[in-house]
Structure 1
């Protein structure tokens, strides 16, 4: 156990939600629906927005404020749920960790890998959990696909097609790299989960179809090399009307013993060379795929409800959650590596991103104790894999 646990006498985990925008409200509804959680307050720079969110969930009069840490202290909250914009993730999470509060944060961990490294060091320094909610990992069908893949042996090629045509309006329409920055991290993170391995390098091409309504590049292809030799290929567009894929994407894994197909919505299909039959992966088949005598464990819950449940379980048991910031940073590094590859037209290694980000983090860090933790890291990848800094 490398982070502080809740006291044994805590019956319900009291949390303050920071950020009361549309995503914050989705979290608020999820929190009030969980019997193990108690919503202690809502913080937002615009207090009237927090008050309106409280009324929306039927809790008019709930404590509100502009500062999450101050509100947590005032209400006796045990943890912070950070649903602010990415640019605010670093200051909000750092303040909470420094105040002794564990944090569950929306993806990405921070606006940059450099800021995420700072937060990993702060979590190590304070002994408090910082977990990132990669909500699309929390899907029973994804768990089943992963279990089926394990039965098929060594992975060769994992690919995902992601083709949607959302018209968001607002900031996404003006972003330089809307698909890679705002969406692809989900598929990149899911690839790490399915392969149970980490990325080594990427070659990426980013572009914008002529009919695109986005100012920046809304389409990309990226080919990643993974530890162990597997390849992961992402092909996607946010301006592809007609025959759209699931928001999870449409997946294919080619492995030594067969193929797994997953449309992102329904149960995966496995075609194993041992029987050659296409079939849905039900509980019995998943058990066989996992090579164990018991059914494969389902996801802790669906979407953000699953990450919330894993976060609170970790605070009670000390079991390492899969979204802990040290583990999650590599998913964000995949995004930055893909963007750099597209800009410079060359293959970029993940370690190049990690080491450059560490140098940037050390230069920018103003908390001397946090800086000392990062300065003590030899290899960033080793520091992240150790989970203890």
Structure 2
């Protein structure tokens, strides 16, 4: 049993407290932390959390309870100081994405985790779904030969779907596309080499920053990914993980994942098609722990067994996903000029 302290009980953090953590039996909650007394009161009143397990600071929680893990579910700008403090106090850490605001901060946290001999994991929850796992296995087995081209489309109309973060910088690339970029790396089992990206803000948009973009990503093994994303689309809504077409030398793999929104939910879908043949729907294996419960179960397993589960998004691994985000933002600022990932990583 892994004992944990959750830090950050706001809107998204409360969702973790109520909907995610209780579904992973390998994790026992030792403490809850938030600097806002109202957030503490909410978990006590609505979820029946005892006062003795609630704290206004991580330092107080570390003194008051025994724990192995900190679950950091705060706003992005608070990730770096909280994760750093947690590692310095000797905790393993699971942190929401993106796990730092800059590559320099991220590298520092990765180095600190290694120095402290602790596990740092980023909650890239889209990895823990049946379709991308099946796609990764098909690509890894070269079921249809080498990959020639990957096309990814993400379409949502934020104004009619309850989106609230109109002033967030880079609402597409930094907040949403990081999921898609991380899936590219996982499914292809490859890292990006360079990227060209353009973003823009259409007329009548309530966004303060660019909610639409297109990017071309070149990977180290030569695969090219064409990515199109929009928070202002009037087209058919895609699942959260987008719609993927993976064109290989002997056929194609098409899949979608995380098809749920506002009380509606649909299963992941994956079809394959041998060249010049009809598409075939593939039965997907359900997961014991999916999405955010998947990330939490994975780090609990890593702590308990001292082994790294498949598709584990460590801080060190996730540097490459964060670098792809930073590179696309940099390229967009340069009017679509190619940006090498090495430039950002340096």
Q: Is the 8 A contact 1:68 1:80 kept in 2?
A: no
1:270 to 265, 269, 272: 272
Give the match's secondary structure for 1:251.
Answer: strand
Pairing 1:319–2:312 present: no
Unaligned 5+ runs, structure 1:
1-11, 284-296, 356-389
- Structure 2 match to 1:280: 281
Structure 1 vs Structure 2 CA RMSD: 1.7
Match of 1:8 in 2: none
2:250 to 254, 257, 274: 257
Give the Cα separation in 1 of the matches to 2:213 and 2:67.
Answer: 42
- Rounded Cα–Cα distance in structure 1 between residues aligned with 2:178 and 2:22: 28
In 2, Cα distance between equivalents of 1:75 and 1:196? 40
Query: Which position in structure 2 is the counterpart of 1:85?
Result: 75
Q: Hey, what does 1:146 align to over in structure 2?
A: 136
Q: Which runs of 5+ in 2 are unaligned?
A: 260-267
Q: Is the partner of 2:13 in helix, strand or coil?
A: helix
Deviation of the 1:69 alpha carbon: 3.6
* CA–CA separation in structure 2 for the residues paired with 1:240 and 1:98: 44
* Separation of aligned partners in 2, 1:75 and 1:245: 44
1:331 aligns with 2:291: no
Task: State the alpha-carbon separation in 2 of the partners of residues 132 and 205 from structure 1.
Answer: 27
d(CA) in 1 for partners of 2:299, 2:45: 26
Question: CA 1:258/1:69 → structure 2, altered by over 3 Å: closer, same or farther?
Answer: farther
- Is it true that 1:163 corresponds to 2:152 in the alignment? no
Residue in structure 2 matched with residue 341 of structure 1 by the alignment: 331
Moved over 4 A (4+): 297-300
- Confirm or deny: 8 A CA contact 2:8 2:74 kept in the other structure: yes
Task: Say if 2:94 and 2:122, in contact at 8 Å, map to a contact too.
Answer: yes
Matched, 1:21 2:23: no
Deviation at 1:351, TM superposition (A): 0.5
Q: Give secondary structure in 2 for the equivalent of 1:159.
A: strand
Number of residues of Structure 1 aligned to a counterpart in Structure 2: 329
> By how many angstroms is 1:97 displaced?
0.7
Aligned-partner SS, 2:126: helix
Quote how far apart the aligned CAs of 1:209 are: 1.3
Deviations 1:110-162 (A, max 9, x none): 11111111100101111101100001111012211222333122111111100
Distance 2:332 2:288 in 1: 36
In 2, distance between residues paired with 1:130 and 1:298?
A: 26
TM-score (norm 2): 0.91
Give CA-to-partner distance per residue, 1:223-252, whole Å, 9 cap, x none: 000011001121011011341111111111
Match in the other structure for 1:310: 298
Residue 228 of structure 2, aligned match among 223, 232, 235: 235
- For residues 52 and 256 of structure 1, the distance between their equivalents in structure 2, rounded to whole angstroms, comes to 55
Cross-structure match for 1:70: 60
Is the contact between residue 3 and residue 27 of structure 2 (CA under 8 Å) also seen in structure 1?
Answer: yes
TM-score (norm 1): 0.81
Within the alignment, does 1:38 sit opposite 2:31 as a pair?
A: no
Secondary structure at the counterpart of residue 202 of structure 1: strand
SS at match of 2:98: coil
Question: Does residue 206 of the first structure (1) align with residue 207 of the second (2)?
Answer: no
Q: Contact conserved, 2:131 with 2:256, CA < 8 A, in 1?
A: no
Q: 2:204 aligns to what SS in structure 1?
A: coil
Distance in 2 (CA, whole Å) between partners of 1:177 and 1:316 is: 37
Higher strand share: 2
What does the per-residue CA deviation read over 1:77-134, in whole Å, with 9 as the maximum and x for residues that have no partner? 2210000111111110111111111000001111111111110010111110110000
